[in-house]
Structure 1
Amino acid sequence: MRWNQSTSVPGLSPATRTRAEPRRRPRFLKRAYEQRYLLAMSLPFVLLVFLFNYVPIWGWLTAFQRYRPGRPFWEQQWVGLKNFTDLFQDETFYLALRNTLGMSTLGLILGFTMPIIFALLLNELRSGLFKRTVQTVSYLPHFVSWVVVAGLVYKMLSIDGGPINQLITAFGGQPVQFMAHSNYFWGVVVLSDLWKEIGWNTIIYLAAITAIEPALYEAARVDGAGRWQLMRHITLPGISRVVIILFVLSIGHLTAIGFEKQLLLSNAVVKDSALVLDLYALQYGIGMNKFSFGTAIGVVNSLVGLALLFGANAFFRRKTGDSII
């Protein structure tokens, strides 16, 4: 049976398709020419993303090898899925996965909702100077190294003059060794990260709030709406799209929480609660010279993150009709 070109697009005749294709191409070229400066500005960043995020993906091939440093790539021994088999048979992997998802979920609940609440409260401040001062003070910890933050956390939670334990003692309680109990470690990490990043994460919500049409607030005030009604029926719906996009992206990064805070805040007593996937890859991959095994951990970590991202995107696309992918 001969292929008929006219049947490739149902309902579109060859003559119509011939007229539409040239028209579409000049329109694209015209728009690209009009936005040539924006495209030129974005080109260096696209190249950087490609260079540092996509080019290194070829290194995933070492997960299927018994990699030995110093040997050419084509002389490495291929072992197939052995590294992945060893990974899924290692109980430590499931401990690291549990800790990663546990701390990430707590961080998502607090670290995602609190910046929204903080942005709504800042938006209600009438004094511009006080508002800018609070905002500046709140996002300054973002620029502080985790090494410094870890030292502050240890001082704050110390039983030897730490402010937290002094407050507990003042109310008649007994000093608590927060850094010596595994049950407290997740909370310490999540709250420390919340204090460090809440101001920085608030900026994007404040920017979204400023994009809301002021006439909507004026019309609502004429109808007798108070501050709570304005916040509930105008501000929150106005930033809902931004909230959904950031929430989906945050779900995709559930397994990519890094290892700096866990490494700096952990000790020998709480090491089992501090082990996350990135720290697991560092200790068992680079630390024990098992580079292929560490690469396998990174591959699984990335695939889990991708699955969570596409799953969350599909869920919100079904519920809201919006998609970020």
Structure 2
Amino acid sequence: MSQHRSGQMKAFFRQWQVQSMVIPGIVWMFVFCYIPMFWLIIAFMDYSIAKPMLQSPLVGLKHFEDFAADDRFWRSIRNTLGMSAIKLALGFPIPILFALLLNEIRSLRFKRAVQTISYLPHFIAWTIFGGILLNWLGEGGVMNQLMMALGIQDREILYNSDPQYFWWIVYFSDVLKETGWSAIIYIAAIAGIDPALYEAAELDGANRWQRMWHITIQCIRPTIAILFILAVSGMLGSNFEQIFMLKNNMNMRMAESLDLYIYNMGLVSGRHSFSTAVLFARSLVALGLLLLANYTSKKLSGESIF
């Protein structure tokens, strides 16, 4: 063990220029992720922005009891879990499928073109992409024209004003915008597979689909497992910018996610301690989901983060 550790240290010092490139990331994480954790203490205070934090009176679990008795909080939980469940069940496999199909394209020029086009929506801010989407879904928009041309509907529908469509609008817009970008890590994992495995399988008579199932998917299974664990742990989170752009007074019943609830309570209503308590509780539940998903994945597939 000591020789192994000594070898690691020697390799580290030989590559100190490369290793030092991680320092800005560590500093950023410490400043913006770890130092702000100190302010979680205001979840147990009756905090006022008009006076120093440590002069605010302690109130114990009062804010936790308040949000637990708030029907609006439980509605935001329902909406968040509903949207996250749809994304996890129907959205998580799509980047994997996209990466698998992209890997089967033999024309390098066409493959690069498809990759580039699929990445582009990710770099469009939600303020712009959301505006385009609202235009498509509005009266006289592309969606209404397409549905009427196909005979699926006989009149125009204001999709974004009807709460029953909101979760699906969030799902499809997320798939449209993020599929290409989310597939990058799978494409990188596929690129690391030894080509000799495919050659041996081809000599044994395996067709393209058999090679995809028995080689490609099996080799990227650890990557899939890790990303699935992280997706499960993030189920109480939501894409705040996406929800904020698509919500309105008519669909708010189905649109207010937990992130939007925290924003409304903290910044709009000025209830800083209350919103911090909600955020603190959400973080604890997210940690529990991470541990549960990691344990389940290790038991079922042998793959885990730790």
Distance 1:25 1:186, change over 3 A: closer
SS at match of 1:254: coil
C-alpha distance in 2 between matches for 1:235 and 1:312: 24
Which has the higher Rg, Structure 1 or Structure 2?
Answer: 1
TM-score (normalizing by structure 1):
0.89
Give per-residue Cα distances to partners, 1:115-172, cap 9 Å, x unaligned. Answer: 0001111111111111100110011000101111111111211222x12211221233
Which residue pairs with 2:29 in the alignment?
A: 49
Which residue pairs with 1:233 in the alignment?
A: 214
> Given the alignment of the two structures, is residue 192 of structure 1 paired with residue 173 of structure 2, yes or no?
yes
Contact 2:47 2:56 in 1 (8 A): yes
Which residue pairs with 1:176 in the alignment?
A: 157
C-alpha distance in 2 between matches for 1:27 and 1:164: 61
Contact 1:110 1:194 in 2 (8 A): no
> Given the alignment of the two structures, is residue 151 of structure 1 paired with residue 138 of structure 2, yes or no?
no
Matching residue within 83, 87, 91 for 1:103 = 83
> Given the alignment of the two structures, is residue 123 of structure 1 paired with residue 103 of structure 2, yes or no?
yes
Which residue pairs with 1:315 in the alignment?
A: 296
Matching residue within 91, 98, 121 for 1:141 = 121
Distance 1:28 1:154, change over 3 A: closer
Distance 1:87 1:114, change over 3 A: same
C-alpha distance in 2 between matches for 1:165 and 1:26: 66
SS at match of 1:54: helix
Distance 1:74 1:131, change over 3 A: same
Give per-residue Cα distances to partners, 1:288-310, cap 9 Å, x unaligned. Answer: 11100010111112111111111
Contact 2:225 2:304 in 1 (8 A): no
The amino acid across from 1:91 in the alignment is D
Matches within 5 A, 1:14-93: 26=6, 29-93=9-73
Contact 1:220 1:230 in 2 (8 A): yes
SS at match of 1:85: helix
Which residue pairs with 2:92 in the alignment?
A: 112
C-alpha distance in 2 between matches for 1:80 and 1:67: 12
The amino acid across from 1:289 in the alignment is G
Shift in Å, 1:50:
1.6
Which 5+ residue runs of structure 1 have no aligned equivalent?
1-19
Which residue pairs with 1:285 in the alignment?
A: 266
C-alpha distance in 1 between matches for 2:7 and 2:210: 45
Give per-residue Cα distances to partners, 1:270-290, cap 9 Å, x unaligned. Answer: 101110111101111221111
C-alpha distance in 1 between matches for 2:294 and 2:264: 33
The amino acid across from 2:62 in the alignment is K
TM-score (normalizing by structure 2):
0.95
Shift in Å, 1:31:
4.5
Greater Cα offset, 31-40 or 105-114: 31-40
The amino acid across from 1:182 in the alignment is P
Shift in Å, 1:177:
2.2
Contact 2:45 2:57 in 1 (8 A): yes
> Given the alignment of the two structures, is residue 212 of structure 1 paired with residue 193 of structure 2, yes or no?
yes
Contact 1:284 1:294 in 2 (8 A): yes
> Given the alignment of the two structures, is residue 268 of structure 1 paired with residue 244 of structure 2, yes or no?
no
SS at match of 1:46: helix
| RMSD of equivalent CA atoms | 1.6
Shift in Å, 1:180:
1.9
Shift in Å, 1:98:
0.7
C-alpha distance in 2 between matches for 1:241 and 1:146: 31
Which 5+ residue runs of structure 2 have no aligned equivalent?
none
Instruction: Write out the 4+ residue segments of structure 1 that deviate beyond 3 Å after TM superposition.
Output: 23-32
Matching residue within 130, 143, 146 for 1:167 = 146
